[in-house]
Amino acid sequence: MAVKVLAISASPRKDGNSDVLCEQFLKGASEVGNEVEKISLRQMNITPCIACYGCSKSHKCVKEDDMHNILQKLIGADVIVLATPVYFYSMDAQMKTMIDRCLPRYQEIRDKDFYYIVTAAEPQHSAADETISGLRGYLRCLPGATKKGIIYGTGTWDKGDVYRHPSFEKAYEMGKTVGV
């Protein structure tokens, strides 16, 4: 059965390592008949949450930026891929800002399957532990969220390193398992 797959790429670099793995995952997911879409946060205007709680009753952020549309897409997706590089042992600012801005409607992002894609300069998977922990914390807030898989692009520092990394093929193969 075909599903809607939404990938959120937090890479600040076009064709950065996490961005490339995101594309590979979507390529695999598309080839088995799923509907796929990617949002590149680097192209979005999303400002940080200011904890004003103006959204607490209206479920709409007081800020007028691209986050409203992203929330709609998160709510409408069946499967969500969160792809981020690891910066100083954590997710990058683009991903964290997007997650924080889900506050107005986070409870509507329900019953979704999630995949994580993380890239890091250090070769050990443990280099991504804090990033994975942060992404798990996000899922703990979403009703019925299930982590289905993690793709580790560790040991990829320079742009393009991921093309020679086992995660390149793994992302494609994991994408092919979605919805089947």
- Summarize pLDDT for 75-94 with one digit per residue, the tens: 999 999 999 999 999 999 99
Residue 167 pLDDT grade (very low, low, confident, very high; cuts 50, 70, 90):
very high
| Inter-residue contact 4 to 38 (CB < 8 Å) | no
- Which residues, including other chains, have CB under 8 Å from residue 126's CB and lie 6 or more apart? none
The Cα–Cα gap between 167 and 24 comes to 9
Residue 180 pLDDT grade (very low, low, confident, very high; cuts 50, 70, 90):
confident
Burial-class residue 159 by CB neighbours within 10 Å (0-12, 13-18, 19+): middle
Tokens of 150: 């993690």
Residue 1 pLDDT grade (very low, low, confident, very high; cuts 50, 70, 90):
confident
- Summarize pLDDT for 33-68 with one digit per residue, the tens: 999 999 999 999 999 999 999 998 899 999 999 999
CA 16 → CA 11, 58, 153, 160, distances in Å? 6, 37, 11, 7
Tokens of 8: 């959120």
SS3 173: helix
- Summarize pLDDT for 91-119 with one digit per residue, the tens: 999 999 999 999 999 999 999 999 999 99
- What's the pTM? 0.97
CA 132 → CA 32, 82, 90, 149, 150, distances in Å? 27, 10, 8, 11, 9
DSSP state of 170: H
Strands (E), the chain: 4-9, 35-40, 79-87, 90-91, 113-120, 146-154
CA 14 → CA 9, 21, 43, distances in Å? 10, 12, 10
Q: Which amino acid is at 9?
A: S
How many C-beta neighbours within 10 Å does residue 43 have? 9
